[in-house]
Amino acid sequence: MLNRTFILLSSAIVFAACNNNSKVQETQTEKDSSANSIVWTQVGFTHPESIAYYENENCLFVSNIGNDDAVANGFISKLALETGEIIQLKWCDSLFSPKGIAISKSALYVADLKYLCKIDIASGKILNKYTAPEVGMFNDIAINAKGEVFVSDMVTSSIYKLDTLGVLSSIYQNDSLHHPNGLLCKGNKLFIGGWGRLDDSKTEQDSVGTFWELQLETLELKAISKTKLGKLDGIQSNGDSLMVSSWKAGELFTITPDGRYNFLLKTEESVGDFLYLEKEKKMYLPLNFQNKVVVHNVE
């Protein structure tokens, strides 16, 4: 998602240029059933953007962008999985604009504006910060089975990789990505949710994003979605298919590797980097504008 300063600009853009053709259509019955599937709602956040599950403590971590990335008032919250009770609102603070988060072993990785931060989960302390001079704005994170960390740079339409030796480098740049947002690793593939052009004064079709597949071994890029689906944000795995959120439309849907997609859930605008737990059959949704986290049952 976007940092707080960037949200103010983009809010005016996306409100003025909502692409109705890119939205997955749903019936009124489907909209109504979404409200009935809510398990719990927790408020008190400051522009929540991403959610990660830590199995060792059966808890959730939630990134909070904060109100002003110039003064480092972003933070990470810690929640109880079952109830959403806030265990510690500012479990790790003094971050600039934390967005995507992901866990590998005992560390929480955070995309914090121009830095990829590694946080020790046991202490909540930042162990290291990684960046490069050309970084525009880090957004989402994905980690593969090798422990390599991938992060999207939304401004420069680039993908960075932090290798297992702690070296951060840009591995792919392509303006055709139109500002990548969400990431998910699956085998040797990196799935990418495109936000679309930042300047929505372009055509409607160009202003919304495509769902991509990047082969990590060959760096071959392939468009999965046959049409542009919206301001794409979070990506989660669900068997052979994937779950994707459309930030502007406030919708979630499934998409298969051959590009077929189906409506899944209607929520509110500004749904970000959500979490799906297959065992729980629940989706944990951060709602940025509303400063809350909402959990839905999903069969």
At position 166, the amino acid (one-letter code) is G
What's phi and psi for 226, nearest 5 deg? -75, -30
Per residue in 59-116, pLDDT tens? Answer: 999 999 999 877 899 999 999 999 999 999 999 999 999 999 999 999 999 999 999 9
Structure tokens at 101: 């988060």
Q: What span, in angstroms and rounded, lies between the C-alpha atoms of 47 and 270?
A: 10
Q: What pTM was computed for the model?
A: 0.88
What length is written for the chain? 299
Q: Is the pLDDT of residue 28 over 50?
A: no
Q: How far apart are CA 117 and CA 127, in angstroms?
A: 8
Kindly calculate the radius of gyration of the chain based on its CA atoms and give it in whole angstroms: 17
Residue 188 binned pLDDT confidence (cut-offs 50, 70, 90): very high
Spatial neighbors of 55 by CB under 8 A, at least 6 apart, are none
In this structure, which topology does domain 4-297 adopt according to CATH? Neuraminidase (2.120.10)
Q: Which helix (H) or strand (E) holds 194?
A: strand 189-194
Longest dimension (CA), the chain: 51
What percentage of residues in the chain have a pLDDT greater than 70? Answer: 85
- State the Cα–Cα distance between residues 75 and 56, nearest whole angstrom: 21
Q: Which two tokens stand for residue 67?
A: 């109100």
* Banded model confidence at residue 200, pLDDT cuts 50, 70, 90: low
Chain centroid offset of residue 275 CA: 9
Structure tokens at 45: 């956040």
Domain edges within the chain: 4-297
CA of 243: how far to CAs of 175, 190, 239, 262, in Å? 24, 14, 10, 10
